[in-house]
């Protein structure tokens, strides 16, 4: 731990210090000298939580007094990462905590590192939800995030012999300092059984038999905004056996059976499904979905009733519910159920309310990610919801017949229920008052392609809202030196008004500013080099070009193209003397988790590691190329990597990456992007202009045209004419990379050249390769013109203001939510 400083504390800091010591005493029963670093962390977190709680009490009263409309953001993922530093920053107390901890012999960074990441998400979609809640709160908008309290978040990745292995992420093992349990607000969620209908005075009554119930127990994490008085919360629902609440089973002597049921019930919130951009019809996932949705809606209605009584027609004025991708779609039929079966409303009245309450965001156009459930499974687990979907579908068919008369094929693929499947996207499209894509290009694809026929029925409902990231985490916290330099150069306002960053453009060519900017990048690169040395045992040169691709591993993201290109560069260094002499050293850094069942993605991880072993240990290369795979990529590792990149790899097949948000994090921290015209890259290009981004490859319409034909001839021709690509491909299967197992990468070779269903090169890796190779060569050259390059980096930071999630949230609010900021 750090050496104690002797700086004098201010009275406020003295008070904070005794608060922290007080927590150590009272919470852990220890004196300061006996406290472990982890206790110091927890004590700090508890003092922060106290401060947020004080604000919360006030903010809560304001919302109540004003009767404000509220947003409930439903998401199966909230990838929060660590909370200590963001909370302290948002409370504007970073300097105080730093000083006090130093006085106690620690640094804030050391203490912050002791917090487990809350890894309750797979990737982009989950991290977006986390950025949104920060911006919502900072903009004083009343909002709740709602998700599951997974006991295990996204698995921990351990690389063994170059292969990914998965370990459980037991993030709650030391408890969670931020959450507050609310047992008094637990609700019951019911599954399965038989539904009985009867009529009483002309009103349909629903009853159940043989159903099973699970209790949903809420835990609240209060969240404060940056320099704001508002406190919002993230509500995490945890599954608890109903027998804990209802002791009947015990009285009947069924102790063991009761315990078995307890296990079965509590498994619901046990673990986050680790697939992203892919769905599989797993029963437990279906149960998770209903569990979150039903618990949340019961709570929403209870809160509404407390404030507004039972005039349910006011619900759309007071409540907006956002569905983060289709995963919480069951909220729609569940609200129908609650309004009809529990509150006694008729179908038409309920439908009128439901269709004014829900908004839906789509995050992917990948076919395998469009959620569909087998009808039998759905009916068995959620019989009443299924009945409601049947009626929704019947009425939908009438609407479709009116709009598209006689077009049975169209009705069928637009249906909620068809081909023995329940379509979640169609359920949303049939019910939500707003639908949006997450970048301009992505929204165009929704409107003109995958949701075209719904778009034509009601165009006004569709919105393009480009994603964003919170600048508080993604620069102020992760790159404090750069944030400080910006403060000194253009003043402080930019953290709340990101467009102000554009003033930095005036300094892009200023030698003094350039020098400072470059020194910060260099020092971040040194820090990452140390991290790599410690964790990978690989020595990398901070003066080399840091070229980074970190994101989930997926074929469409094309880590494969990156590796093939590295192999080609390596070959060329070995064979072309002039090239070798002029080659500017490069460090290629990867970070990626693969879904545990995605074999090919896992093989690509092995390939990256094997190529790394081959190159890093080849003396002939003379350390000119290093390839590093950073294990267990997640939010906290991203916070380091994004600050240290010279080149940011955003190379997905055009049309496939809905937006991307990692691209924005790198840009903000002054990396130059090499990318395709995909997702938000297109808008980054618009912001920085041709000189400050490296765009290559097929455009999305060109990709789409190629997807309509098998494309074998084109691929064969590339194979025949591009010898460096051909050579790299052959090395996949000739034992060059892993001599003891020649066949290891055969599947990768085959899928590129022959494809899975007669469509070779599904993701256009081969077809974009040459363009990629050329642009990489240009980057290496341009990097060496230091002044020009640093100017490009500065321009990237300067023009990134548009990608603040504050802007994104303002757009959602103007176009969709219509919330009023709390005074």
Catalytic residues: 363, 551-552, 557, 661, 665
Strand partners, 147: 236
123 vs 801 by CB, closer to ligand 26Q: 123
Tell me the CA distances in angstroms from 683 to 440, 445, 676, 695, 796, one per residue in order.
Answer: 8, 15, 11, 12, 12
Hey, what are 814's tokens? 């103007």
Strand partners, 144: 72, 233
599 vs 788 by CB, closer to ligand 26Q: 599
Distance from C-alpha of 149 to C-alpha of 77, rounded to nearest angstrom: 10
Measured from the CB of residue 645, what is the shortest distance to ligand 26Q in angstroms? 18
Q: Are 401 and 411 in contact (CB under 8 A)?
A: yes
Distance from the first to the final alpha carbon of the chain: 43
Hey, what are 220's tokens? 């609240």
125 vs 476 by CB, closer to ligand 26Q: 125
285 vs 726 by CB, closer to ligand 26Q: 285
17 vs 327 by CB, closer to ligand 26Q: 327
Measured from the CB of residue 683, what is the shortest distance to ligand 26Q in angstroms? 12
438 vs 744 by CB, closer to ligand 26Q: 438
Which candidate, 714, 694, 730, places its Cα nearest to that of 567? 730
Distance from C-alpha of 32 to C-alpha of 43, rounded to nearest angstrom: 11
Distance from C-alpha of 772 to C-alpha of 495, rounded to nearest angstrom: 35
153 vs 679 by CB, closer to ligand 26Q: 679
Hey, what are 406's tokens? 């006689």
Measured from the CB of residue 279, what is the shortest distance to ligand 26Q in angstroms? 4
Q: Which residue intervals of 537-586 are DSSP H helices?
A: 559-575, 577-582
Distance from C-alpha of 333 to C-alpha of 337, rounded to nearest angstrom: 6
Contacts of 15 (CB under 8 A, 6+ apart): none
Hey, what are 546's tokens? 């840091």
Measured from the CB of residue 44, what is the shortest distance to ligand 26Q in angstroms? 32
Angle at 811 between CA 809 and CA 812, to 5 degrees: 65
Measured from the CB of residue 126, what is the shortest distance to ligand 26Q in angstroms? 7
Which candidate, 113, 108, 126, 284, places its Cα nearest to that of 191? 284
Measured from the CB of residue 63, what is the shortest distance to ligand 26Q in angstroms? 28
Strand partners, 471: none
> Around Cβ 515, how many Cβ atoms within 10 Å?
10
Distance from C-alpha of 122 to C-alpha of 124, rounded to nearest angstrom: 7
- For β-strands 156-160 and 672-675, DSSP reports them as unpaired
679 vs 711 by CB, closer to ligand 26Q: 679
364 vs 426 by CB, closer to ligand 26Q: 364
Contacts of 412 (CB under 8 A, 6+ apart): 418, 419
369 vs 790 by CB, closer to ligand 26Q: 369
Measured from the CB of residue 282, what is the shortest distance to ligand 26Q in angstroms? 7
Distance from C-alpha of 152 to C-alpha of 595, rounded to nearest angstrom: 15
Q: Are 630 and 617 in contact (CB under 8 A)?
A: no
The contact set with ligand 26Q (CB under 6 A) reads 122-125, 128, 273, 275-277, 279, 285, 327, 363-364, 369, 371, 438, 467, 657-661, 679
Measured from the CB of residue 128, what is the shortest distance to ligand 26Q in angstroms? 4
Residue 106 backbone phi and psi in degrees, to 5: -125, 170
Measured from the CB of residue 719, what is the shortest distance to ligand 26Q in angstroms? 30
Strand partners, 686: none
Which residue of this chain has its Cβ atom nearest to ligand 26Q in the complex? 124
Measured from the CB of residue 118, what is the shortest distance to ligand 26Q in angstroms? 16
Strand partners, 648: 548, 673
């Amino acid at each position: 731990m750090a050496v104690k400083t002797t700086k004098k504390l201010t009275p406020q800091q003295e008070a904070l210090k005794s608060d922290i010591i007080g927590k150590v005493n009272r919470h852990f029963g220890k004196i300061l000298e006996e406290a472990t670093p982890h206790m110091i962390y927890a004590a700090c977190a508890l003092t922060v939580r106290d401060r947020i709680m004080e604000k919360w009490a006030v903010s809560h009263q304001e919302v109540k007094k004003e009767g404000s409309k509220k947003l409930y953001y439903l998401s199966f993922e909230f990838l929060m990462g660590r909370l200590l530093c963001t909370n302290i920053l948002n409370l504007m107390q970073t300097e105080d905590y730093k000083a006090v901890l130093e006085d106690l012999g620690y640094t804030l960074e050391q203490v912050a590192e002791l917090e487990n990441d809350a890894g309750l998400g797979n990737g982009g979609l989950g991290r977006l939800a986390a950025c949104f809640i920060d911006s919502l709160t900072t903009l004083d908008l009343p909002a709740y995030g709602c998700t599951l309290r997974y006991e295990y978040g996204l698995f921990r990745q351990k690389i063994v012999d170059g292969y990914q292995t998965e370990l459980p992420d037991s993030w709650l093992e030391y408890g969670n300092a931020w959450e507050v349990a609310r047992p008094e607000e637990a609700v019951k969620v019911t599954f399965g059984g038989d539904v009985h209908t009867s009529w009483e005075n002309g009103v349909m009554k629903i009853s159940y038999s043989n159903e099973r119930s699970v209790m949903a127990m809420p835990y609240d994490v209060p969240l404060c905004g940056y320099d704001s008085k508002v406190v919002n919360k993230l509500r995490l629902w945890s599954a608890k056996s109903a027998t804990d609440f209802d002791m009947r089973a015990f009285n009947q002597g069924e102790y063991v059976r009761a315990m078995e049921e307890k296990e079965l019930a509590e498994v619901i919130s046990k673990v986050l499904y680790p697939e992203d951009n892919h769905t599989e019809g797993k029963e437990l996932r279906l149960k998770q979905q209903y569990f979150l949705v039903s618990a949340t809606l019961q709570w929403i209605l209870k809160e509404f009733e407390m404030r507004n009584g039972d005039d349910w027609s006011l619900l759309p004025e007071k409540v907006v519910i956002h569905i983060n991708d289709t995963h919480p779609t069951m909220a729609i039929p569940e609200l129908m159920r609650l309004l009809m079966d529990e509150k006694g409303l008729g179908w038409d009245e309920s439908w009128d309310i439901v269709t004014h309450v829900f908004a839906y965001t789509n995050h992917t156009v990948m076919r395998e990610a469009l959620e569909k459930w087998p009808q039998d499974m759905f009916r068995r687990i959620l019989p009443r919801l299924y009945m409601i979907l049947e009626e929704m579908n019947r009425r939908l068919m009438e609407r479709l017949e009116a709009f598209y008369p006689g077009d049975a094929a169209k009705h069928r693929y637009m249906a909620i229920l068809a081909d023995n499947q329940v379509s979640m996207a169609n359920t949303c499209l049939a019910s939500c008052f707003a639908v949006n894509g997450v970048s301009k290009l992505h929204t165009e694809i929704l409107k003109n392609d995958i949701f075209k026929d719904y778009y034509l029925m009601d165009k006004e409902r569709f919105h393009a809202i480009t994603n964003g990231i919170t600048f508080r985490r993604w620069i102020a916290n992760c790159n404090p030196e750069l944030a400080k330099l910006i403060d000194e150069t253009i003043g402080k306002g930019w953290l709340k008004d990101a467009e102000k960053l554009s003033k930095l453009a005036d300094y892009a060519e200023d030698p003094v500013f350039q020098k400072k900017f470059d020194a910060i990048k260099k020092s971040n690169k040194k820090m990452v080099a140390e991290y790599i040395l410690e964790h990978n045992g690989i020595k990398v040169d901070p003066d080399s070009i840091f070229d980074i691709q970190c994101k989930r591993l997926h074929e469409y993201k094309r880590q494969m193209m990156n590796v093939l290109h590295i192999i080609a560069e390596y070959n060329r260094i070995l064979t072309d003397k002039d090239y070798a002499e002029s080659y500017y050293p490069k460090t290629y850094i990867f970070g990626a988790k693969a879904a545990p069942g995605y074999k090919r993605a896992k093989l690509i991880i092995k390939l990256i590691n094997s190529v790394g072993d081959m190159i890093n240990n080849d003396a002939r290369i003379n350390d000119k190329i290093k390839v590093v795979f950073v294990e267990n990529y997640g939010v906290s590792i991203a916070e380091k990597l994004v600050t240290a990149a010279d080149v940011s790899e955003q190379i997905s097949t055009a049309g496939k990456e809905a937006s991307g948000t990692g691209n924005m994090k790198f840009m903000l921290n002054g990396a130059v992007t090499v990318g395709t015209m995909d997702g938000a890259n297109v808008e980054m290009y618009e912001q920085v202009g041709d000189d400050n981004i490296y765009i290559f490859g097929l455009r999305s319409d060109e990709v789409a045209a190629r997807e309509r034909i098998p494309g074998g001839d084109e691929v064969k021709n590339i194979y025949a004419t591009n010898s460096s690509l051909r050579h790299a491909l052959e090395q996949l299967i000739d034992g060059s990379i892993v001599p003891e197992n020649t066949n290891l990468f055969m599947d990768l070779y085959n899928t590129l050249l022959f494809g899975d269903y007669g469509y070779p090169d599904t993701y256009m890796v081969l077809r974009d390769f040459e363009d990629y190779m050329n642009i990489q060569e240009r980057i290496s050259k341009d990097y060496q013109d230091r002044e020009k390059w640093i100017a490009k980096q500065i321009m990237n930071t300067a023009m990134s203001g548009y990608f603040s999630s504050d802007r994104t949230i303002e757009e959602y609010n103007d176009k969709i939510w219509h919330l009023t900021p709390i005074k």
